[in-house]
A and B are shown apart, each in its own frame.
Chain A
Amino acid sequence: MRTTRFTVIGAVSTAAVLALSACAGNATNSTGAKGTIGTPAGAGKTITVWAMRGDLGPDTLNAINTQFTKETGAKVDLQVQASWEGITTKVTTALATSNPPDVFDLGNTQIPSYAANGGLLDLTPYKKELQQGNTWLTGLELPATVDGKLYGVPTFAGDRAVIYNKKIWAAAGVTKVPTTYQALIADLDKIKAANTASDFSAFYYPGQYWYAGMQWVWDAGGDIATLNNGKWTSGLSSEKAQQGLNDFKTFQNTYSSVASRTVDIHKPEHTQMFADGKTAAILGIPTEISTIKKANPKLTDADLGTFPFPGKSGKTQPVMIGGSDWGIAAKSQNKELALAWTKIAASPDIQNNYVFAKDGWIPNSVEYVKAAQATGLSPLITGFFAAALTSKSTPAAANWSTIEGDLSINQLFSSIASGTKSPADAAKAFDSHADSVLNGN
């Protein structure tokens, strides 16, 4: 009995070692030589592309695929993931297999960890060809760059601007778009006075909405963390950041409902609150305009307006640039084809006529943004393009995604909004946590 037991365990651990090494593979990066993508022949081959629902629309993805099949003869197996819970686990395990999907749609705050840990193909040799003569938006290119190497191709960008309900504003006697902080406050006071329902918010501003909260910190001159000599230092306890956090609290508490102090924008959905007329304004992303119209078909383009959030500093508040990059799995079996696919996705036709024109996102390059502005933007989009001129992004640290994943940054802002912690205490707790996470302890 005894001996057999040991043999069994011995056999099992051999299997375990095999299992570990099976995943190892070789993830050598093709560095050095300048590569060319060209148009690889792919007849009879299929590449797998993982997109996220809510990012690029089906028309855009189809257009990329059609073009790709036309050029290379290869087919595309498009998988659009609709569930976000556990998505990092899914992507991580997929990148670890020996035959992973080829192209991934990765959020610009998520990509640093995949890139830094060797999950993605080094695209540096192909950078010029992928850029196609353009300058990518920094907020998308920077997070995809680790140690000077490029691991992702910018897909699209989105930022936040005020979306407001013209009817409710007009009913309160406000007809002019506020361009200064004082004007905004005065307008919101009027709206607040004109609407007395207990669950009405002049400006619905959920406490966990850290993208919104960070705008105050940036406007006051603070930042989440800064990199000095390879070491991250969190900065929310700084005097400037504290000023921003205090202003955030005052604004949130004054113009948003009590119930909103601790919640995130999705429970309840803030576009739903807007569509139901429970608020006169939200801070939203471009695609949320269509979400609002879908939730309440009575609201039309004429009833809606957008403008960048005017900061206390006198300038507009800096906004967080969100968006995503296309990454190619380091172990992809179809690297050439995957490169050709991402090249098409970043091409002028797709960026101008689909990403911008169809989906309403900000295209991936400065040139496309300018081109879009030159052609004349719809009034609903102008607010977002104006806001994008002063943009910020999260620290480009490999471990940043941990801070988002463990919700400590949500906690920071909701505890400030609800008053369970003073801005100073909340910032102190967050800073020490972020210091240890970002520096990899």
Chain B
Amino acid sequence: MTATSPTQDAPSDARPRKRDTRRRRKLHLGVNITAIVFCVIWTFPVYWMVNTAFKSRPEVMTATPIFFSQHPTLANFIAAFKQSSFLLDLRNSVIVVSGAVVLSIVVGAFAAAALSRFHFRGRRTIMVLILAVQMLPGTALLIPTFLVFNSLNLLGTYFGLILAYVASVLPFSIWVMRGFFVAIPYEIEEAAMVDGAGTWRILRSILFPLVIPGVIATSIFAFITAWNEYLVAYTFMKDQSMYTLPIWLASFSNPQTGTDFGGQMAASVLFSLPVVVFFLLIQRKLVAGMSAGAVKG
């Protein structure tokens, strides 16, 4: 690891001074050690989750923890798969999460465009209100939202749950995407207007493509929020065939039938995996989008 640092330095120092180089090398060693320590600490909980998930039953609870399983097993995963209806709940989660992601992007992008590319009275007030809405403790809104949904007949439907999640991520999405719209120079738009393009065409073919990184950011936020949420899903969905994965995960801490840490960790791994995959996939695009944005900025 440390071998990479000197080569990194070389180009920036046109005339290397000996003393300075030595100091910098020492600094680089320190930087790399810090990075490694950080990685060890930050990975440890994830490692311990995975490690426990693969342990055979007697290895889970031991007076001296076992850091590498001598008898790795898939038994915990198989048991987790069998518990309730993993595949059905996964399907429901996918429906609800993708619905929430798509809807929050579309609705959010429109609103963000209006709040950034147009001047109208009350714009600033709307912005502040959008941020203020975020300050309400989420749990407090559960019952009022339930009452509203009940009177709108939205309880027990995928659409209702999707709407609930869209509403909770929308303020944030609008803020984020607005930031991207704001960064686009007006000259581009003006040039298009001179060419006779209408508002809709400018939005569709010029502005929207430029805010793709914002779209990705919004999708990450909506994805995690919807993927994670437990209490609203549990109270709003009547039929257990429409339950989402967090409810499946919570069933591993059932005080009547008991639970074991191995099974719980295996379930946690299964639950986290799609998010990790989604993040890793989108991360590349995110970085690419960011650097593209930087060039234009």
Contacts and interface: CB of A to CB of B under 8 A. Distances in A.
State if A and B touch, Cβ cutoff 8 Å: yes
Interface of A: 1, 15-16, 18-20, 22-23, 52-55, 77, 79-86, 89-90, 93-94, 96-98, 101, 197-199, 266, 268-269, 271-273, 276, 278, 288, 291, 295
Contacts of A295: 57, 260
A291 B231 contact: no
Closest 9 CB pairs of A and B: A54-B256, A82-B251, A83-B250, A22-B151, A19-B151, A19-B147, A54-B257, A269-B258, A83-B251
Contacts of B148: 15-16, 19
A85 B142 contact: no
B84 interface: yes
B124 interface: no
B81 interface: no
Contacts of B58: 276
Given A83-B250, A83-B253, 11 more contacts: A19-B147, A23-B147, A53-B254, A53-B257, A85-B253, A86-B231, A89-B234, A94-B238, A268-B261, A272-B61, A291-B258
Nearest to B121: A1
B155 interface: yes
B224 to A, nearest CB: 20
B20 interface: no
B137 to A, nearest CB: 15
Contact of A276 (B61, B150, B234): B61
A266 B235 contact: no
Given A89-B235, A97-B150, A199-B63, A80 B240 contact: yes
A374 to B, nearest CB: 29
Contact of A90 (B57, B84, B235): B235
Given A22-B150, A89-B142, A97-B150, A83 B247 contact: yes
B259 A266 contact: yes
A154 B187 CA distance: 76
Contacts of B146: 93, 96
A16 B148 CA distance: 7
Contacts of B61: 268, 272-273, 276, 278
Contacts of A266: 253, 255, 258-259
A249 B58 CA distance: 30
B122 interface: yes
Contact of A89 (B122, B231, B254): B231
B254 A84 contact: yes
A278 B61 CA distance: 10
Nearest to A17: B151
A84 B255 contact: yes
Contacts of B258: 266, 269, 271-272, 288, 291
Contact of B256 (A55, A101, A197, A273): A55
Interface size class of B (residues with CB under 8 A): 35 or more
B230 A86 contact: yes
Contacts of B234: 83, 86, 89-90
B239 interface: yes
Contacts of A93: 143, 146, 235
Interface of B: 57-58, 61, 63, 83-84, 121-122, 142-143, 146-148, 150-151, 155, 230-231, 234-235, 238-240, 247, 250-251, 253-261
A56 to B, nearest CB: 11
A416 B34 CA distance: 44
A-side interface mostly: mixed
Given A90-B235, A93-B146, A268-B61, A81 B256 contact: no
Contacts of B253: 83-85, 266
B76 to A, nearest CB: 13
14 contacts: A52-B256, A53-B254, A54-B257, A79-B240, A80-B240, A83-B254, A84-B253, A86-B230, A90-B235, A93-B235, A94-B238, A198-B63, A272-B258, A295-B57
B239 to A, nearest CB: 7
A352 B250 CA distance: 33
A89 B230 CA distance: 12
A82 B249 CA distance: 10
Contacts of A291: 257-258
A97 B155 contact: yes
Contacts of A15: 148, 151
Given A1-B122, A83-B234, A89-B235, A53 B251 contact: yes
A199 B61 CA distance: 10
Contacts of A199: 63
Given A83-B254, A90-B235, A96 B260 contact: no
Nearest to B139: A89
A82 B83 CA distance: 10
A15 B148 CA distance: 8
B254 A82 contact: yes
Contacts of A96: 146, 150
Contact of A79 (B155, B230, B231, B239): B239
Contacts of B151: 15, 18-19, 22-23
Contacts of B261: 268
**Chain A CB within 10 A, most for which of B84, B231, B239, B240:** B240
Contacts of A19: 147-148, 150-151
Contacts of B57: 276, 295
Contacts of B230: 85-86
Contacts of A198: 63
Nearest to B62: A199
Nearest to B85: A82
Question: Which among B58, B238, B239 has the highest number of chain A CB atoms within 10 Å?
Answer: B238
Contacts of A83: 234, 247, 250-251, 253-254
B33 to A, nearest CB: 35
Most buried by B among A52, A53, A54, A86: A86
A98 B152 CA distance: 12
B270 to A, nearest CB: 16
Nearest to A22: B151
Contacts of B260: 268-269, 272, 295
B282 to A, nearest CB: 30
Contacts of B247: 82-83
Contacts of A269: 258-260
Contacts of A276: 57-58, 61
A163 B170 CA distance: 54
Contacts of A97: 150, 155
Nearest to B120: A1
A101 B238 CA distance: 9
Contacts of A1: 121-122
B238 A84 contact: no
Contact of A82 (B84, B122, B155, B231): B84
